[in-house]
Amino acid sequence: MLLLFIMILAILIAGTDALVFKLSGRSLKRRVISGIVLLLLTPVIFFLTAISISPFDEAGFGAGMIAVGYAIVYFINAVIVLIWGLLTNKLY
């Protein structure tokens, strides 16, 4: 079950990165803006994850742990995208 969770998490993060880099193209300004948007969307992602998983967990503790775990990984991903956009001098 843990392996399935990690695989789903990796697929979602990879999809998010693919979308960010496809939309930003070669523009560093767009990449920085995308990183900021990802940072601002972290609480929304946490809330949506908690709401979507809570029907499957009656006690609520497991749903909270999954939501916190995914939000932390999403936040770290957003910081990496933002740093990459800020520290890259030019693309190609």
Output the six-digit token pair for 67.
Answer: 């939501």
- Residue-wise pLDDT for 20-73, tens only, equals 888 888 888 888 999 999 999 999 999 998 898 888 888 878 888 888 988 999
Output the six-digit token pair for 42.
Answer: 């972290």
Determine the Cα–Cα distance for residues 31 and 36; give it in Å rounded to an integer: 9
Reported as a pLDDT band with limits 50, 70 and 90, residue 6 is confident
- Residue-wise pLDDT for 66-81, tens only, equals 889 889 999 999 999 8
Nearest to 81 by CA among 14, 8, 6, 5: 14
**pLDDT attached to residue 72:** 93
Determine the Cα–Cα distance for residues 26 and 22; give it in Å rounded to an integer: 9
Determine the Cα–Cα distance for residues 63 and 1; give it in Å rounded to an integer: 14
Output the six-digit token pair for 23.
Answer: 């939309």
